[in-house]
Amino acid sequence: MDRMPPKGVFMQREARAADKSEFAIFALKYAGPFTSSVAKVLLDTDWDKTIDRYYYIWVIQGKGATVVVDCGVRPAWAAQKNLKGYVSPDAVLARIGINAATVEHLVLTHIHQDHAGGLELFPRAKVYVQREEFEFWIADPIAKRPPFAKVSDPVAIEQLGNLRGSDRLALIDGDRQIIPGIEVLLTPGHTPALQSVAVKTVKGVAVLTSDCAHMRKSFELDLPSSLICDLPGWMNSYSKLRRKVGGDLSLLFPGHDREMLFDYPRAAEDVTRLV
């Protein structure tokens, strides 16, 4: 069995390496697996087959900066839903030496409960979210209707709404660099204004696409999931992301694919280094 370095040592070592080059990216699994029809994640495909999904947050680290992408779900919501395999995202972060309570940068790719529900775990973080995404979930009455309400956490949405007007909330319009080497990209389709995160790495620009694709096969087959807000917009987002990585689909990291947990080097329990 491989011996793991003490808690925090791996991340510190990787951060020093990234300081000399570009950023490192880590995937942290906090719940799952969840089994569903393939058709849920690849539109109208293989209804009779099943596939496993996992819930993740991500960490970008290097050049003296740490950015957390998405915040999982809060412990009370997980307990209420009896969420399979759940470990609080702050506990998973602690495995690689990161204290959620002191994180300074938190990117919310979109405001579904499994990506934005754990906001309370990051009390000091500046939160980056697309303005259109924020306004839809906070203020549009359509967001309270069943197709949207079933994938949201009203408590977390209220907590996010309470940040309006504070220096902890950065509302973004379109593509924007948030710190040198890290850029958010407007990639709608799954939600009104989902954003992906482009990162300069030693392998080139890599993109955390979140649920712009639940599985890598979405980019290969040009098929989104069944949870669609804007299908033409989604197709345009795929084209945009492929251009961003110069056609190298291995540098696009989807939101729920098992490969992020099993096909990359292990950094800690349920944590892998993607780049």
- Asked whether residue 10 carries a pLDDT value surpassing 80, the answer given is no
For residues 148-155, give the mean pLDDT: 97
Using the predicted structure, report yes or no on whether residue 112 has a pLDDT greater than 90: yes
Cα–Cα distance list, 51 to 28, 92, 257 (Å): 20, 24, 9
Please, which pLDDT band fits residue 25 given cuts at 50, 70 and 90?
very high
What pLDDT score does 59 carry? 98
Helix 154-161 with 131-139: angle, nearest 10 deg: 120
pLDDT at residue 236 in the model: 98
Q: Is the pLDDT of residue 17 over 80?
A: no
Among candidate residues 195, 201, 204, 189, the one with its CA nearest the CA of residue 246? 204
Contacts of 81 (CB under 8 A, 6+ apart): none
pLDDT at 4: 43
Q: Could you tell me what percent of the chain has a pLDDT over 90?
A: 92
Nearest to 172 by CA among 224, 228, 215, 127: 127
Give the chain's domains with CATH numbers.
9-273 (3.60.15.10)
**65 pLDDT higher than 50:** yes
Q: Is the pLDDT of residue 38 over 60?
A: yes
CA distance 189 to 168: 26
Q: How confident is the model at residue 243 (pLDDT cuts 50, 70, 90)?
A: very high
pLDDT digits (tens, 9 = 90+) for 198-216: 999 999 999 999 999 999 9
pLDDT given at position 83: 98
3-state secondary structure of 186: strand
Confidence band, pLDDT 50/70/90 cuts, at residue 20 = low
Instruction: List CB contacts of 219: < 8 A, sequence separation 6 or more.
Output: 213, 238, 241, 242, 249, 252, 254
CA distance 186 to 193: 6
Q: Averaged over 251-269, what is the pLDDT? A: 98
Q: Distance between CA atoms of 159 and 53, rounded to whole angstroms?
A: 27
Q: Is the pLDDT of residue 98 over 60?
A: yes
User: Contact 181/200 with Cβ under 8 angstroms?
Assistant: yes
Lowest mean pLDDT segment, chosen from 19-23, 74-78, 132-136: 19-23
CA distance 122 to 68: 10
Return the structure tokens found at 209. 């696409």
- The pLDDT of residue 21: 61
pLDDT band at 226 (very low <50, low <70, confident <90, very high): very high
Could you give the CA distance from residue 271 to residue 261 in angstroms, rounded to a whole number? 7
* Strand duo 204-210 + 105-107: pairing: unpaired
Quote the CA–CA distance of 66 and 57 in Å, as a whole number.
Answer: 13
Does residue 11 carry a pLDDT above 60?
no
With b for 16 or more beta-carbon neighbours within 10 A and e for fewer, the 63-78 pattern comes to bebbbbbbbbbbbebb
